[in-house]
Amino acid sequence: MTAILITGGSRGIGRATAVLAARRGWNVAFTYASDAAAAAQTLEAIRAEGADGLAIRADCAIEAEVIDSFAQGRARFGALDGVVVNAGIVAPPAPLADMSLERLTRVFDTNVLGAYLTAREAARTLPRDRGGQGGAIVIVSSAAARLGSPGEYVDYAGSKGALDTLTIGLAKELGPGGVRVNAVRPGLIETDIHASGGQPDRAWRLGTGTPLGRPGTAEEVAEAILYLLDAASSYVTGALLDVSGGR
Ligand code: NAP
């Protein structure tokens, strides 16, 4: 059985990915920031699919916790075959002129530093020239990277732009070691992230204006992530896959 590690796997897109991966035969280690109850529910859902699961409390922006989460995943499952760099946050809508240093630091620490630290551990673990067996990394960017999110969160949009660039560069770095690196760029997806940014109705309010006329579900994004993890995408690397209903 193959194994993956997902950051921010306790809720939303991460949870949907964890459950779908378990259904498709992967064992799943996942991290979360603080919501132990949600993590326990996700663990239960993974096990209900017949897979083994491991919930790890680890802040993706803290190096030692990221390193430890990979060590725990390997200790439980042997080698890891896939890593989903998913954990991310938004802050309340504001123009750049009104963003505090504290907010900018929190968004960039979680979304950029956290993703780079996670991708770095994957790059130290998966490639065949580093003792691994190859595999796939999927980075969860956002349509915001190309839209810019003016008046709402240009900080968040910029943090996701960095992840698009990371995807392109890391795919070239790790291809020779047998590791594919791709990104999904979700659009408006129904998860808690909008409420955490103070706009619980955002996905539906804006989603009805997309070409498909609705927001997407976490499960629809999970399907794209699983495609990029799976051998079905064996010749795909460095790709940025929009999952945004045409937005
Ligand atoms: P969500 O429902 O708010 O879930 C966020 C997950 O990340 C939770 O499991 C949370 O853990 C975890 N997390 C937050 N900060 C963390 C940290 N510092 N370290 C480790 N884990 C952390 O969010 P989502 O909507 O599923 O978003 C997942 C990813 O998709 C993000 O990168 C987001 O930017 C991206 N995305 C989402 C949308 C959308 O419309 N939903 C659109 C484009 C891109 P706790 O449960 O412990 O808080």
**Which ligand 1 atom is at minimum distance from the Cα of 87?**
7
Which one of 41, 89, 111 would you pick to mutate in the ligand 1 pocket, going by the greatest count of ligand atoms within 8 A of its CB? Answer: 89
Q: Which domain holds residue 13?
A: 2-243
CB 218 within 8 A of CB 13: yes
State the average pLDDT for the chain: 97
User: How far is the C-alpha of 229 from the C-alpha of 219, rounded, in Å?
Assistant: 15
Model confidence at 1: pLDDT above 70: no
User: How far is the C-alpha of 127 from the C-alpha of 178, rounded, in Å?
Assistant: 6
CA atoms within 13 A on the CB side of 157: 17
Count of C-beta atoms within a 10 Å radius of residue 236:
15
Q: Is the pTM of this model over 0.85?
A: yes
111 CA distance to ligand 1 middle (Å): 9
User: What is the number of domains present in the chain?
Assistant: 1
pLDDT for 39-72, tens place per residue?
Answer: 999 999 999 999 999 999 999 999 999 999 999 9
| CA-proximal residue: ligand 1, atom 34 (nearest) | 88
pLDDT for 179-191, tens place per residue?
Answer: 999 999 999 999 9
Q: Is 156 a catalytic residue?
A: yes
pLDDT for 85-137, tens place per residue?
Answer: 999 999 999 999 999 999 999 999 999 999 999 999 999 999 999 999 999 99
Which one of 191, 217, 220, 247 would you pick to mutate in the ligand 1 pocket, going by the greatest count of ligand atoms within 8 A of its CB? Answer: 191
> The domain that contains 199 carries what CATH number?
3.40.50.720
